[in-house]
């Protein structure tokens, strides 16, 4: 079965600093990986996905993710964090059309 893990429940970053939200995966076959963000009392917003090709995937709001096959990781990154980036972030893997989510990482960006 496919699975993803987000090893950090919370990440704290100062505004303007780079941020990384970690995700590792365990899949058989080709991994189709996704990142979503959730703001309070809102649904999930799609940020980016990795299907195949370039290991660096660019997404919405300045976010990007690096796919690393040898380390089975798909970390979310942003060069300069904004206070408005504070939210709950989910990594997910597609398993036959259904998404398997990690437990989520709370990102807090302080001014």
**Contacting another protein (CB under 8 A), which of 20, 73, 82, 101?**
101
**Contacting another protein (CB under 8 A), which of 51, 55, 62, 108?**
51
Phi-psi region of 61 (alpha: psi -120 to 50; beta: other; left: phi over 0): left
Distance of closest approach, residue 7 Cβ to another protein, in angstroms = 15
Is 111 among the residues that bind another protein (CB under 8 A)?
no
Is 49 among the residues that bind another protein (CB under 8 A)?
yes
**Contacting another protein (CB under 8 A), which of 1, 9, 28, 43?**
43
- Residue from 102, 78, 99 nearest 91 by CA: 102
Q: For residue 110, how far is the Cα from the chain centroid?
A: 20
| Helix, strand, coil % in the chain, rounded to nearest 5 | 5, 55, 40
Structure tokens of 69?
């096959």
Is 44 among the residues that bind another protein (CB under 8 A)?
yes
Query: Footprint of another protein on this chain (CB under 8 A)?
Result: 32, 34, 36, 41-46, 49, 51, 90, 92, 94-104
């Amino acid at each position: 079965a496919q699975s993803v893990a987000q090893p950090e429940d919370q990440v704290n970053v100062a505004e303007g600093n780079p941020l990384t939200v970690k995700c590792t995966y365990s899949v058989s076959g080709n991994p189709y990986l996704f990142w979503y963000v959730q703001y309070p009392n809102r649904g999930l917003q799609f940020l980016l996905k990795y299907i195949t090709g370039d290991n660096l995937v660019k997404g919405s709001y300045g976010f990007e993710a690096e796919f690393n096959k040898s380390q089975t990781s798909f970390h979310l990154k942003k060069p300069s964090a904004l206070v408005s980036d504070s939210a709950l972030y989910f990594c997910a893997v597609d398993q036959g059309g259904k998404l398997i989510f990690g437990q989520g990482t709370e990102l807090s960006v302080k001014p």
